[in-house]
Structure 1
């Protein structure tokens, strides 16, 4: 449905800010009743899509897509600052689980999509982005219910691993397509190894520079917060201009700062008001990119069934089976797998980025994932919230504040 007779640019200027305000207001009213804010924001974005107010995608030069990448970069930076590489050395099972479940999801989705009739040329890219969890949803839900504990930390670490694996799979699928479609070895290498290695290197280089500049006491938590945010603005724009991955660069930036023990402890969590504002925008944007025409196609729902089954079944089973060797209980392992269900922000931006970089299968992959994104972003946060509460790591959202939590244990 479109707003007939209305200038789309004027409509975006007037209605989009109102949608963002409505999303924030409804989220604040719904969260005390047990409804995740993230799901509310996405639902309002769906409303914007239904009335024809989806912003211009990255391929059309839309500034909203770049702003969404920056919003996700903030989330991935914060996630990176929570990742302790030493935990992987002391407990390599967590790293093994993350890698194995990523490969298993990719393989299962590729195979099952063939069984439901999806063309072979689209399958690898659909499966690649289906691997990505949603760090933005996980962090936001964990913050909302003040979750802390083994399940929370494992889910965040595994989401980071799955995000990196998804980028690797997407770049690999992109390189394979360029090679098979045009026999272009140079483009295949450029779109895979070049982007992955240089994205991580850019984040690491920025961390080295920033770590030399931010040491010292700060009188206000807003000072380091602004500094890190401005560094991420630079990182996002430069990564975009160089055809790299802003998401992988931001995650690498945060991980190295954590390892160098530079991240300022009194920086505002979730980037304070800026992070909350951009978080609302990110999820409304995700909802607004919904293709309603795709939801009328049976093949899209078949693909959604495949993705949902793989994303829920494989992490739950794998984490439960390997729970005891990895240092937790079977129950907590299964709950960790449930908490990893949300998928949309990173998946959507990976595909939009691929479309902007000239990868034709990306548009078809996004079309096939429409129903999966709809269900996993609307219902995924509910299951994440339920898993954290069931693990006794968070207060039930309708029962008031959570008790004071001890520092999170290693995953």
Structure 2
């Protein structure tokens, strides 16, 4: 904000934006407007009038956004049932194939619309990522439970993992091809991905050993897991690892070891709700309005949107029956996977912070795609879950309250 002290702006304007986002979300959500879309819209409005974070405070806000998304990915990990993949490998196959197909299709199509070869691999890699924050928020708000809801979350987790791995691979390839630096290539790819998972697994082992119930209420275990994730996010950031991949690994292993305390607050209660509002306002505030004046940015958005609609819908519909569901529910699963923004934005901002030169241009090319998919994506997911008859829409959910227990995954999906 020109003429404003950055610290003063952070202390005064941002809390006001967060309150406005929360208030607007509560007023519009009962009318069928997804809270997520409202939060992003407020962030966009703030960005349009110059309330985006300045470079002086952007680093601290970016780290807080990483922590907010780490909470989401941890909770997503705690809902992932690896046994489902063993009993029904079709779900795992669909997740991997559709992720690689989106990467390949976006990479090829971006070349056809004139995007430079130096930017295409990174744009295609981050375009694979779903938005776990949007998907979980919409699922919780609708109190959705059923085949489509569970498949969407499992497939989103696969897409997020592969997006991080693809970004690390592209980063390593860039350092190798641009500078011939094998050491830097390995440090930014194999080292970063492997140690991120190892850090999350190690923390899960420690937590499994020391955090045991019973707890008298839900607050104590919720605070315990949140503090563990604070440590995980800060350490992963300091070691130049991926806090997002580490948080997801942490949650998945706790689920497998059956340690996650049953009475911990879903969505981290009020803390998770507050950080969720911040995350989506932050995403909206990072909009580069100047980029929207360029036609190739809109061309890139059309490419990403087409790939993220056509490939998941077609693949989930074609493989629906072998994977144990109906063609209709398979198609709706593909539709519901549309949201993409928070994960993508933070992956690119992380790459920029780590000094990857193509990352800034990749984020610039994705401006319009992020705008449409984060604003409209939650609406599409909401429609798909309602169409699948898996949304208990009679009473809007309050973040932190317990949604219906999802059905136990079976080999039939």
Contact 1:56 1:63 survives alignment (8 Å)? no
Q: Which secondary structure state, in structure 2, belongs to the residue aligned with residue 293 of structure 1?
A: helix
Q: CA deviation at 1:212?
A: 0.5
User: For 1:318 and 1:56, how far apart are their aligned partners in 2?
Assistant: 42
Are 2:130 and 1:133 aligned? yes
Are 2:37 and 1:39 aligned? yes
Contact 1:57 1:64 survives alignment (8 Å)? no
Structure 1 residues 174-195: Cα deviation after superposition (integer angstroms, max 9, x where no partner) = 0111011111111111110000
Are 2:93 and 1:100 aligned? no
Are 2:345 and 1:359 aligned? no
Q: CA deviation at 1:5?
A: 3.7
Q: CA deviation at 1:55?
A: 1.5
Q: Which secondary structure state, in structure 1, belongs to the residue aligned with residue 79 of structure 2?
A: coil
Contact 2:99 2:162 survives alignment (8 Å)? yes
Are 2:410 and 1:400 aligned? no
Are 2:110 and 1:88 aligned? no
Are 2:381 and 1:389 aligned? no
User: For 1:318 and 1:158, how far apart are their aligned partners in 2?
Assistant: 12
Aligned to 2:15: 17
User: For 1:93 and 1:103, how far apart are their aligned partners in 2?
Assistant: 15
User: For 1:372 and 1:189, how far apart are their aligned partners in 2?
Assistant: 31
Are 2:271 and 1:274 aligned? yes
Q: CA deviation at 1:405?
A: 4.9
User: For 2:327 and 2:201, how far apart are their aligned partners in 1?
Assistant: 36
User: For 2:46 and 2:278, how far apart are their aligned partners in 1?
Assistant: 12
User: For 1:302 and 1:191, how far apart are their aligned partners in 2?
Assistant: 30
Q: CA deviation at 1:406?
A: 5.9
Aligned to 2:113: 116
Contact 1:57 1:65 survives alignment (8 Å)? no
User: For 2:171 and 2:109, how far apart are their aligned partners in 1?
Assistant: 20
Q: CA deviation at 1:57?
A: 5.6
Q: CA deviation at 1:97?
A: 0.2
User: For 1:142 and 1:228, how far apart are their aligned partners in 2?
Assistant: 22
Q: CA deviation at 1:51?
A: 1.5
User: For 1:351 and 1:48, how far apart are their aligned partners in 2?
Assistant: 21
Structure 1 residues 184-210: Cα deviation after superposition (integer angstroms, max 9, x where no partner) = 111111110000000000000000000
Closer, same or farther: CA 327–251 of 1 in aligned 2, 3 Å: same
Contact 2:30 2:396 survives alignment (8 Å)? no
Aligned residues: 405
User: For 1:294 and 1:200, how far apart are their aligned partners in 2?
Assistant: 35
Aligned to 1:249: 246
Q: CA deviation at 1:294?
A: 0.2
User: For 2:204 and 2:361, how far apart are their aligned partners in 1?
Assistant: 36
Structure 1 residues 44-88: Cα deviation after superposition (integer angstroms, max 9, x where no partner) = 000111121212469x76200000000000000000000010000
Contact 1:153 1:409 survives alignment (8 Å)? no
User: For 1:124 and 1:64, how far apart are their aligned partners in 2?
Assistant: 27
Contact 2:141 2:396 survives alignment (8 Å)? no
Structure 1 gap segments, 5+ residues each: none
Contact 1:38 1:140 survives alignment (8 Å)? yes
User: For 1:306 and 1:320, how far apart are their aligned partners in 2?
Assistant: 21
Contact 1:94 1:326 survives alignment (8 Å)? yes
Structure 1 residues 263-288: Cα deviation after superposition (integer angstroms, max 9, x where no partner) = 00000000000000000000000000
User: For 2:386 and 2:304, how far apart are their aligned partners in 1?
Assistant: 25
Are 2:232 and 1:235 aligned? yes
Contact 1:56 1:65 survives alignment (8 Å)? no
Q: Which secondary structure state, in structure 2, belongs to the residue aligned with residue 81 of structure 1?
A: helix
Aligned to 2:76: 79
Q: CA deviation at 1:17?
A: 0.4
Closer, same or farther: CA 144–117 of 1 in aligned 2, 3 Å: same
Are 2:147 and 1:170 aligned? no
Aligned to 1:49: 47
Q: Which of 333, 341, 346 is 1:349 aligned to?
A: 346
Aligned to 1:311: 308
Contact 1:8 1:53 survives alignment (8 Å)? no
Q: CA deviation at 1:394?
A: 0.3
User: For 1:288 and 1:5, how far apart are their aligned partners in 2?
Assistant: 18
Contact 1:133 1:341 survives alignment (8 Å)? yes
Structure 2 gap segments, 5+ residues each: 398-402
User: For 1:130 and 1:385, how far apart are their aligned partners in 2?
Assistant: 21
Stretch deviating more after TM superposition (20-29 or 5-14):
5-14
Are 2:163 and 1:155 aligned? no
Q: CA RMSD in A?
A: 1.4
User: For 2:320 and 2:77, how far apart are their aligned partners in 1?
Assistant: 24
User: For 1:236 and 1:110, how far apart are their aligned partners in 2?
Assistant: 31
